[in-house]
Amino acid sequence: MAELAYREALRRALIEEMDRDENVFLMGEDIGRYQGTFRVTAGLFEKYGARRVVDTPISEPGIVGISTGAALMGLRPVVEMMTMSFSILALDQIINHAAKVRYMSGGQFSVPLVIRGPGGAANQLSAQHSHSMEGWYAHVPGLKVVAPSTPSDAYGMLKTAIRDDNPVIFTENPGLYGIKGEVDDDEFLVPFGKAVVRREGTDLSLVAYSRMVHVCLEAAERLDKEDGVSVEVVDVRSLVPMDTDTIFASVRKTHRAVVVYEDWKSGGFGAEICTRIQESCFDDLDAPVGRVGGLNVPMPYARNLELQCIPNADDVVEKSRQTLQGVI
């Protein structure tokens, strides 16, 4: 069992899949000689050369268009977006082409394409570089969307994504790249569509994905120490497909739930999770489903203002206490 940083786990997965299958190749801006903005692809240009680690011009529509065509011809491209915010420029290619080709061809063609990169706020990257795009893509039939929270899941889910015959949006919160965790030395895959309980509890369920899982774990510890409340934390990790069985089982055990997500609160993917809980677990709930999301404002540059826009443990603790008291 090795302790790896999140970025190192991603790199290990890329190396193993590129060694396993010569059809796997990488594309993106500054991923080769520069080794990637967040250093995920460090050393890969030297190892595999310019044919399999392709530095591209600054043209997201071109990158995704070329990679979609390559996938249709039997290759397995892995595209790195310098930030998922920039994928907005390629929405036509992603939504109207990559996501729809398999359906529109009656299953005759597949698009084994992975689009990965940092999604969410980093330190002072400002409004145009801080979008959480996962909810946008989870809205589109034909795309799979995952958001791993640990190095182990980052490793196993990226390998699963590369082997999938469907386009996968693989979002990595920039706040996670440096965190460390144990990753099994033996090769393994983490399946899509399976949530995991990170902390057992009986009084309240916190449901989250990506970096907010760690925020919820911190909040759960505080609620235990300060209030004597037993909090369960569910890591959704796979948005599409989503494992509602694990979420519902937790809610039916604790009878209360708070959903936490970094995206803008209005219309974010957490609202979808809340709705599914409300629809399927209404008779099991002792209080309305709580929700903690990002402020509905463009991300400020000033660090003090940025921090106010991103959910933190204080926000989760406050909403949890309200939910435990039955306050809307």
Is residue 190, in this structure, part of any structural domain at all?
Answer: no
Six token digits for residue 80: 């790195």
Look over the chain and give the mean of its residue pLDDT values, rounded to a whole number.
96
What is the structure's pLDDT at 326?
Answer: 75
Q: Are residues 134 and 253 part of one domain? A: no
What is the structure's pLDDT at 58?
Answer: 95
What is the structure's pLDDT at 124?
Answer: 85
* Segment 76-81 mean pLDDT: 98
Count structural domains, the chain: 2
> Can you give the pTM of this predicted structure?
0.96
* Among candidate residues 218, 236, 268, the one with its CA nearest the CA of residue 153: 236
* Segment 176-188 mean pLDDT: 97
Is residue 30, in this structure, part of any structural domain at all?
Answer: yes
What is the structure's pLDDT at 314?
Answer: 97
Q: Which of 149, 183, 217 is the last residue of a domain?
A: 183
Is residue 200, in this structure, part of any structural domain at all?
Answer: yes
Exactly one of 16, 129, 255, 272 is catalytic; name it: 129
What is the structure's pLDDT at 327?
Answer: 59
**What's CA 16's distance to the chain center, in Å?**
21
Q: Are residues 297 and 163 part of one domain? A: no
What is the structure's pLDDT at 123?
Answer: 84
Tell me the per-residue pLDDT of 255-300, one tens digit each, with 9 for 90 and over: 999 999 999 999 999 999 999 999 999 999 999 999 999 999 999 9
The residues with which 25 forms a beta bridge, in sequence order, are: 77
Distance separating alpha carbons of residues 81 and 133, to the nearest angstrom: 12
Q: Which of 161, 183, 205 is the last residue of a domain?
A: 183
Tell me the per-residue pLDDT of 292-302, one tens digit each, with 9 for 90 and over: 999 999 999 99
Is residue 191, in this structure, part of any structural domain at all?
Answer: no
Q: Are residues 201 and 179 part of one domain? A: no
Exactly one of 8, 17, 29, 60 is catalytic; name it: 60
For residue 61, the enclosing domain spans: 2-183
User: Quick check: 328 pLDDT over 60?
Assistant: no
Helix (H, G, I), strand (E, B) or coil at 161: helix
Tell me the per-residue pLDDT of 108-152, one tens digit each, with 9 for 90 and over: 999 999 999 999 988 888 888 889 999 999 999 999 999 999 999
Q: Is 129 among the residues known to form the active site?
A: yes
Percent of the chain exceeding pLDDT 90 equals 94
Tell me the per-residue pLDDT of 229-244, one tens digit each, with 9 for 90 and over: 999 999 999 999 999 9
Which long-range contacts does 217-225 make (Cβ < 8 Å, 24+ apart)?
A: 218/313, 219/313, 219/316, 219/317, 219/320, 222/313, 222/317, 223/317, 223/320, 223/321
Q: Which of 137, 162, 183 is the last residue of a domain?
A: 183
Q: Is 60 among the residues known to form the active site?
A: yes
What is the structure's pLDDT at 51?
Answer: 96
In a 10 Å sphere around its CB, with 0-12 CB exposed, 13-18 middle and 19+ buried, how is residue 239 labelled?
buried
* CATH (domain of 104): 3.40.50.970
What is the structure's pLDDT at 244?
Answer: 98
User: Quick check: 42 pLDDT over 90?
Assistant: yes
* Segment 200-208 mean pLDDT: 98
Is residue 108, in this structure, part of any structural domain at all?
Answer: yes
